[in-house]
Structure 1
Amino acid sequence: MSTDREMSHDMSDSDIAVLLADAADEVEIGIAPYQAVLRGGRRRRARRWAVAAATALVLAGSSATLAVAGLPGRDGGQVATQPPVPADADPSRVLQTTLATGTDQGTKWRVLIDVWSAPRDEKQAEAQRAAMALRGETPPDAHDASDLIGKITYFVHRDYGGESTKVMENTVPKTDRLTGTDLMSGSLPLEPGGTKDVRLVIGYVAKTAQRVNCTWTNETATVVEKAGAATGTDVPAIRSAAGSPYNWFVCVAPKGTEYKTAEVIE
């Protein structure tokens, strides 16, 4: 398999699953109409991506919307500090982290992540699902509350000029980890409703990753380094997110160019 393999978004979920099972090297997965990529040498299942398409939210083949009222948070520029998450964290309490903020042609934008800790029993799982519903968040592939036990659920949201869209979600075992140069990322327009200017890249990496290289179609690149204690969210950086088993990064292509690749630099 080539280093940058692209799959047509017209393929069914089962087709993609078969191809993923056969892949032992790097994989790149095309999610209509943008890209989600997994880099690294290990087999891993695809993460779910939802992207804005016109006025609808493309979410695993269905349509949905999310109001900005469900996304409390502060404006850009603050220092990204993460509260400690105790082992017995309340699964019905969302842990929200601002991953990035900025201004695009006078319009403020931000990327946030909601993380829900792993319920330890069905009672906690039921309470968590109810709390998620109040925020307009539905855990993927969780048909019963018991499906959430022992698993972390996260939702990534992009807010642009007050318009908020859920762009990524997944439910994973609380022991899930990335290692080495593993990287999962997706690219989409910074401004909702567009199909061009695919400039926004959101992804996650192993806790040990120190640098990510975001390469643009004009052959320039942005190097994103691990955040320090005083690194504000208006500076592209690899950051921890409360409750998440991975570290996260966000990078934005300069106006006039678009996303090409993203990879961990050892």
Structure 2
Amino acid sequence: MNEERDIALLLREAAEGVEVGAAPYEKVVRGGRRRRARRRAAGAVLALALAGIAVPVAGDLTADRPLVNWEPTAKVELDRRYVYDPSVTTLGEVNGQPVVIEVWGAARDAAELREQQRHMIARNVWDERTSGDEPEIGQTWYLVYLGAQKRTLATGVEEVGYFTHTQTIGSRLVVVGQVTPDIRRIIYKWSTGDVEGRLIQVPGLTQRWFVMEADAKARRMSVITYDAQDRPTVKRT
């Protein structure tokens, strides 16, 4: 009993020696205000960045987070439209060489068309662009070529529907074509057998594209397309 009483007295003396003060209210309030101010400032910087406006950042506003490298909205839009930098897609191979389609988006005004011409000249495709009709505002233009030498297989402005371009290269017959977006499969029936084309959605174009080859002496009997419900449509040739 004496030992328990001694322990109780020691605990009471220790408790009496501890000074319990009031909570640091002012410090807590000031800390909360600083955090809210940082959040408001960060939100403002983000909004300006989304608008494409450069904002100088001072202090420790972003000390605990990385800065985001925002591009101007106008440049991003031009990139997505492929006006100055074309989309380049491989459609397939013929004789071991890639068949590539290059798409230049439609210029919206004369200034964009002039700048597009400068970029086309730099990529050595301007002569191809002007080999047919004169370029017009609002037209999306494509160039399909074969291999590193860029042998032209097809060129033109985007149209809607089923179109093909056919060339004989050596002992092979090469067909480059497009179908509407609802088509899921296309089969060519040749006198030498059936060939199914691989349909590709090309960035910058609304139609789906394909390339296929056959023996140069083969005769094309018919073309069958299938929609999303696998319903066939026969095109006689």
- Shorter chain as denominator, the TM-score bin is 0.5 to 0.7
CA deviation after TM superposition for structure 1 residue 134, in Å: 1.9
Structure 1 residue 93: deviation in Å?
1.1
1:100·1:111 contact (CA, 8 Å) conserved in 2? yes
Query: What displacement does 1:113 show?
Result: 0.4
- In our comparison, the structure showing a higher alpha carbon Rg is 2
Q: 4+ runs of 1 displaced by more than 4 Å?
A: 85-88
Change (3 A) 1:258 1:164: farther
Shift of 1:158: 1.3
2:93 aligned residue (88, 101, 119): 101
1:107-135 Cα deviation digits (max 9, x unpaired): x2111000001111111011111211222
Does the CA-based 8 Å contact 1:216-1:257 persist in structure 2? Answer: no
Which of 153, 160, 168 does residue 177 from structure 1 map onto?
160
Q: Quote the offset at 1:213 in angstroms.
A: 1.3
* 8 Å Cα contact 1:185/1:201 also seen in 2: yes
Gapped regions of structure 2 (runs ≥ 5):
1-75, 227-231, 233-237
Q: Kindly state the Cα deviation for residue 256 of structure 1 after the two structures are TM-superposed.
A: 7.5
Aligned to 1:49: none
What letter corresponds to residue 186 of structure 1 in structure 2? H
Equivalent residue number for residue 110 of structure 2: 122
Q: Which of 172, 188, 195 is the aligned partner of 2:167?
A: 188
- Partner residue in 2 for 1:252: 213
Q: Which runs of 5+ in 1 are unaligned?
A: 1-84, 225-236
Distance 1:112 1:184 in 2: 17
Q: Is the 8 A contact 1:92 1:131 kept in 2?
A: yes
Conserved? CA contact 1:201–1:259, under 8 Å? no
**CA-atom RMSD, angstroms?**
2.5
Secondary structure, counterpart of 1:120 in structure 2 = coil
How many residues align? The count is: 147
Structure (1 or 2) with the greater strand fraction: 1
SS at match of 1:251: strand
2:154 partner amino acid: M
Shift in Å at residue 259 of structure 1?
5.2
- TM-score, normalising length: structure 2: 0.55
Structure 2 residue aligned with 1:221: 194
Equivalent residue number for residue 10 of structure 1: none
CA contact (8 A) 2:172 2:216 kept: no
Distance 1:120 1:246, change over 3 A: same
Work out the percentage of aligned pairs sharing the same amino acid: 20
- Match of residue 154 from structure 2: 168
Query: Which structure's residues are more often helix, by fraction?
Result: 2
Q: Partner residue of 1:72? A: none
TM-score (norm 1): 0.49
Q: Bigger relative contact order, structure 1 or 2, given CA contacts below 8 A and separation 6+?
A: 1
The alignment status of 1:264 with 2:222, answered yes or no, reads no
Matches of 2:189 and 2:121, distance apart in 1? 37
Which whole-Å deviations, capped at 9, do the CAs of 1:164-215 have from their partners, x for residues lacking one? 301111124xxx432xxxx2112223x4xx3xx3422111000111111112
Aligned 8 A contact 1:157 1:168 in 2: yes
Match of 1:113 among 101, 109, 115: 101
Q: Which amino acid aligns with 1:96?
A: V
Please give the alpha-carbon distance, in whole angstroms, between the structure 1 residues aligned to 2:212 and 2:144.
14
How much has 1:148 moved relative to structure 2? 2.5
